[in-house]
């Protein structure tokens, strides 16, 4: 219908009964869905519009779902985003290429190392130093990413169980995740938002004892996974709540650009680590788990099996790390004059690092100061780099104008694309199934809003 020439701040118009469909409808301009709900109630329609979130726990923090329900059946579902917008991409245009790592790591805060890796791989391609990155640095990147994939999926299992009322699953999931976060803190100095992967390599080598700590953590995590499988995979309540719920076919995934476990749960083994390898993934032995039920249960099974495959990759990384080597490119125009190392308190540069920079060469100090404050220049051009994120295909589009800062940095976050499937997964189902469907998408809104 034609909108009024002078619309009020929010207006709702009742459209007469459609003889072809037999269903009355409403048209709104401006305002909010609450106005539509009030108008529907005034006219006596058997329809309710419900706001789920943005505070509701099942909406993962700051996702707002606008549900139109008929009884207990969802007739329409829309996702409202933007409540966590931080302007990360725009802020990166005002920081050096190295400082950009500290911004992009905060997007998807459940899997920060993947944003760091994708961004740094893109910067290295612009610099033309992809082949110069030391092998040990690439192995450490793979090690950290695969451990991060496990922690991310553990958050999915833990929060998903909690949202279905299984508190024990949440406790086990977060307890297992804690073992790996201790490793992250040992290697990078931080439990999350690491800024550990840098253009040209990684900030520092793994400290003494880290390899043994990873092996010990893997043993404990495997034990927790066996407990989680006992609690979940044979649980009739979980079967009833998740099977045939939130179905999303292969055709729907392809049309919406949905990737990751949601896509692999339809039977398509698409994984960027296999189709377009990076960081030497083509040299690792691992499988791409798939299911064909295309429902919430299939996505759970895919993620559990992916964790075991990540453990396989981590074990191969530990074998390769037995041989020492550099972890940053040799080009001093990109790498800092002395290899960065943190102090014993984990809170700053080590004394050896400070002594090397400030005590041996004035030229070294000047170069270090300019490199840190101004940054290195990146040749003009643009590049698109993808990695296999725990939630799907993560892409970064970087544009350089030849300066020390990105002209444009844009991320294709998988959670943003996957959220498009909310309406298709929820409409026609029950209100209680909305929680399960959204949990099976496993969105992180920091990545969605950026």
CATH number of the domain that residue 411 is part of: 1.10.645.10
Are residues 247 and 322 part of one domain?
yes
Q: Does a structural domain hold residue 37?
A: yes
In the chain, the number of structural domains is: 2
Q: What is the pLDDT of residues 250-261, one digit of tens each?
A: 999 999 999 999
Q: Omega into 54 within 30° of 0, i.e. cis?
A: yes
* Per-residue confidence (pLDDT) for residue 11, from 0 to 100: 41
Give the separation between CA 268 and CA 266, rounded to whole angstroms.
6
Which segments of 122-238 are extended strands (E)?
A: 197-198, 201-202
- Please give the residue range of the domain that contains residue 47: 10-15+26-80
Regarding whether 281 and 139 lie in a shared domain, the answer is: yes
Residue 47 sits in the same domain as residue 160: no
304 with 238, same domain: the answer is yes
Return the pLDDT at 274.
93
- Are 70 and 212 in the same domain? no
- Does one domain contain both 442 and 314? yes
**63 and 114 inside one domain:** no
Is residue 350 one of the residues assigned to a domain? Answer: no
Q: Which of 80, 96, 124 marks a domain boundary?
A: 80
Asked whether residue 396 is assigned to any structural domain, the reply reads: yes
Establish if 20 belongs to a structural domain: no
* 215 domain-assigned: yes
* 370 is a domain residue: yes
> Do strands 381-389 and 201-202 pair parallel, antiparallel, or not at all (unpaired)?
unpaired
133 vs 335: CA distance, rounded Å: 11
Report the distance separating Cα 140 and Cα 132, nearest Å: 15
- Bin 221: left if φ > 0, else alpha if -120 < ψ < 50, else beta: alpha
Residues 106 and 220 in one domain: yes
Shared domain check, 108 and 39: no
Gap between the Cα atoms of 137 and 122, Å rounded: 16
Residues of the chain whose pLDDT is less than 50?
1-20, 338, 346
> Do 45 and 33 contact (CB within 8 A), yes or no?
no
Question: Does residue 345 sit within a domain?
Answer: no
Distance separating alpha carbons of residues 141 and 151, to the nearest angstrom:
15
Shared-domain flag, residues 69 and 110: no
Q: Is residue 263 part of a domain?
A: yes
pLDDT value at residue 195:
87
Same domain, 180 and 280: yes
pLDDT at residue 19, as a whole number: 45
CB 46 within 8 A of CB 426: no
Give yes or no: residues 46 and 96 share one domain.
no
Predicted confidence at residue 120, as pLDDT, reads: 94
């Amino acid at each position: 219908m034609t909108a009024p020439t002078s619309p009020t701040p929010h207006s709702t118009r009742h459209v007469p009964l459609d003889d072809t469909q037999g269903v009355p409808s409403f048209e709104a301009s401006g305002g909010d869905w609450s106005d539509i709900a009030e108008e529907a109630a005034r006219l006596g329609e058997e329809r309710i519009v419900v706001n789920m979130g943005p505070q509701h726990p099942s909406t993962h923090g700051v996702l707002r779902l606008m549900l139109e329900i008929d009884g207990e059946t969802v007739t329409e579902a829309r996702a409202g985003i933007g409540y966590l917008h931080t302007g990360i991409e725009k802020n990166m245009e005002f920081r050096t290429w190295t400082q950009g790592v500290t911004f992009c790591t905060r997007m998807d805060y459940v899997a920060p190392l993947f944003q760091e890796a994708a961004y740094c791989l893109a910067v290295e391609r612009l610099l033309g130093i992809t082949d110069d990155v030391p092998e040990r640095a690439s192995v450490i990147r793979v090690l950290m990413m695969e451990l991060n994939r496990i922690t991310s999926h553990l958050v999915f299992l833990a929060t998903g169980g909690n949202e279905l009322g299984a508190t024990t699953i949440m406790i086990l999931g977060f307890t297992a995740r804690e073992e790996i976060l201790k490793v992250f803190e040992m290697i990078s100095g931080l439990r999350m938002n690491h800024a550990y992967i840098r253009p040209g390599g990684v900030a520092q080598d793994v400290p003494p004892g880290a390899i043994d700590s990873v092996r010990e953590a893997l043993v404990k995590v495997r034990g927790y996974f066996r407990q989680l499988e006992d609690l979940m995979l044979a649980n009739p309540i979980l079967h009833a709540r998740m099977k045939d719920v939130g179905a999303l076919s292969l055709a729907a995934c392809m049309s919406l650009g949905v990737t990751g476990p949601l896509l692999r749960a339809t039977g398509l083994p698409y994984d960027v680590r296999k189709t377009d390898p990076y960081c030497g993934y083509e040299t690792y032995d691992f499988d791409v788990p798939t299911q064909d039920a295309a429902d919430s249960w299939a996505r759970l099974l895919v993620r559990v099996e992916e964790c075991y495959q990540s453990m396989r990759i981590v074990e191969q990384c530990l074998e390769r790390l037995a041989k020492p080597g550099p972890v940053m490119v040799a080009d001093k125009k990109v790498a800092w004059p002395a290899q960065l190392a943190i102090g014993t308190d984990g809170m700053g540069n080590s004394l050896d690092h400070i002594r090397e920079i400030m005590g041996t060469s004035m030229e070294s100090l000047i170069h270090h100061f300019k490199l840190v404050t101004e940054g290195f220049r990146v040749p003009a051009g643009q590049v698109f780099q993808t990695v296999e994120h725990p939630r799907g295909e993560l892409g970064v589009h970087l544009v350089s104008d030849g300066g020390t800062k990105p002209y444009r940095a844009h991320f294709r976050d998988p959670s943003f694309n996957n959220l498009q499937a909310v309406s298709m997964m929820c409409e026609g189902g029950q209100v209680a199934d909305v929680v399960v469907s959204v949990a099976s998408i496993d969105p992180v809104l920091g990545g969605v809003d950026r």
